[in-house]
Amino acid sequence: MPRPIRVAIVGAGPAGIYAADALLKSDAAQDPGVSVDLFERMPAPFGLIRYGVAPDHPRIKGIVTALHQVLDKPQVRLFGNVDYPGDITLDDLHRFYDAVVFATGAMADRALDVPGINLDGSFGAADFVSWYDGHPDVPRTWPLEAEKVAVLGVGNVALDVARILAKTADELLPTEIPPNVHAGLRQNKAVEVHVFGRRGPAQAKFSPMELRELDHSPNIEVIVDPEDIEYDEGSIAERRGNRHADMVASTLEKWAIRDTGTRPHRVHLHFFESPEEILGEDGRVVGLRTERTELDGTGNVRGTGRFTDWDVQAVYRAVGYYSDELPKLPFDLASGTVPNQAGRVLAADSSHETAVYVTGWIKRGPVGLIGHTKGDANETVACLLDDHTAGRLPGATAPEPDAVTAFLEERGVRYTTRDGWYRLDAHERALGAAEDRERVKVVEREDMLRHSGS
């Protein structure tokens, strides 16, 4: 009687759990059956949802409910606090599993090559997000002395950074932010945040809902310069063919023509301003220089040679995420992805690496919304199952479910489990209930392991 297909998924964020879901919904789940083990380097699951989404986005965090439904399946196991390749290598995974899927996402900041980028007061947005989301591997404090701040980029992460900087600490207190983050934000001096985009309103990558939410805070006045509302033929075509782009542009137009209100903190959304240099003095940020751009008819822009120096004391770059390189796998440095064909990992000679697959941002780059990873997962899993049917998977040499747990225990790895996650979840919810909040996130890794009963 054939045994279930054994699949390891490295990364228990949305991409990894969606891949598990696709496997469990496939015909193979009926005959011969599928067994999935999720390996996650954090003690808790959910990746980007837990450590990459702003705490004041409860609707997005509601995706966790759907992810739990997959995690709770009896065919799925969770091994948290397990690092690839420190605790388990690709060769180890091949021994225990018929196929390996990497869904490790992207948590680092993409580089921005402008003078002054390394000055004190110049930050990566991903690092700031990790701090306010209580990531255990980052410092517990954050410098928030700047009264005027620049944010480079016009995507949702830029909006998140601007909003967290502009809101008051008490406004964020009902969320799950940890005590150290609340204490840090109480010291935040920012009252003016400037968000810069190289191109125009039609090319902004904001989600319509997230953009509108920026204006919901009683403490944030959103300001758009009417001179930045400009379109060319390419921009008009973009609006006609992209409903989200049209909604974003319409919202920005309304804000540009309204009277400025009196809310205490201001967020300025600037377009047609390309960052040229972060200005410094005595090693610290004292300003930002931008070049005014103009549309070229196609929706792209060119420089005009007109420069503006902005009085800011901190600069956050939100120009995209970048994935960590994975040992034993090829890596494209330009895109920050593992070369692949529909999820099958490609070797240097363009042949398929045997029984190794990718999904999510490590597969296609950090673009799109969380839900878009479902399509990635379905495509990757279809290739995996096709290879299995065609006999292209060599098969695990030690497929017994207990073999991997014995291996981790012999290595002394303090792994967490699904039951351990629920213990930690209950503890965080109890901390929140004591303060009339949904939860208070535990930050220290050792505390997470202790409450998980690892």
Whether the predicted pLDDT of 362 surpasses 70: yes
User: 38-79 pLDDT, tens per residue?
Assistant: 999 999 999 989 999 899 987 777 788 889 999 999 999 999
Tens digit of pLDDT for each residue in 204-221?
999 999 999 999 999 999
Q: Name the pTM for this structure.
A: 0.94
pLDDT in tens, 233-245: 999 999 999 999 9
Q: Give the residue with greater pLDDT, 308 vs 370.
A: 308
Whole-angstrom distance, CA of residue 388 vs CA of residue 400: 18
Closest by Cα among 371, 378, 317, 352 to 155: 317
Name the token pair of 376.
Answer: 């990635």
**pLDDT tens digits along 365-409:** 988 767 778 889 999 999 999 999 999 999 999 999 999 999 999
Residue range 126-130: mean pLDDT, rounded: 97
CA 235, CA 335: separation in Å to the nearest integer? 26
| Confidence at residue 301, expressed as pLDDT on a 0 to 100 scale | 98
152 has pLDDT over 60: yes
Task: Determine contact, residues 359/377, Cβ cutoff 8 Å.
Answer: yes
Q: Which domains does the chain have, with CATH numbers?
A: 5-107+323-415 (3.40.50.720), 118-321 (3.50.50.60)
pLDDT band of residue 253 (cuts 50, 70, 90) is very high
pLDDT of residue 58: 73
**Tokens 């599993």 sit at which residue?**
97
What would you report as the CA-atom Rg of the chain, rounded to the nearest whole angstrom? 23
Question: Which tens digits make up the pLDDT trace of 159-200?
Answer: 999 999 999 999 999 999 999 999 999 999 999 999 999 999
Instruction: Give mean pLDDT, residues 81-100.
Output: 97
pLDDT tier, 27 (very low <50, low <70, confident <90, very high otherwise): confident
pLDDT band at 2 (very low <50, low <70, confident <90, very high): confident
Give the pLDDT confidence score for residue 1 in this predicted structure: 52
> What is the pLDDT at residue 367?
80
Checking phi first, is residue 412 left (phi over 0); if not, alpha (psi -120 to 50) or beta? Answer: left
CA 140 – CA 179 distance, rounded (Å): 10
Instruction: Reply yes or no on whether the pLDDT at 331 is more than 60.
Output: yes
Summarised one tens digit per residue, pLDDT across range 411-441 is: 999 999 999 999 999 999 999 999 999 999 9
In the prediction, which pLDDT does 361 show? 94
314-317 and 321-322 strand pairing: unpaired
Q: Are 213 and 160 in contact (CB under 8 A)?
A: no
Output the average pLDDT for the chain.
Answer: 95
The pLDDT value recorded for residue 182 is 97
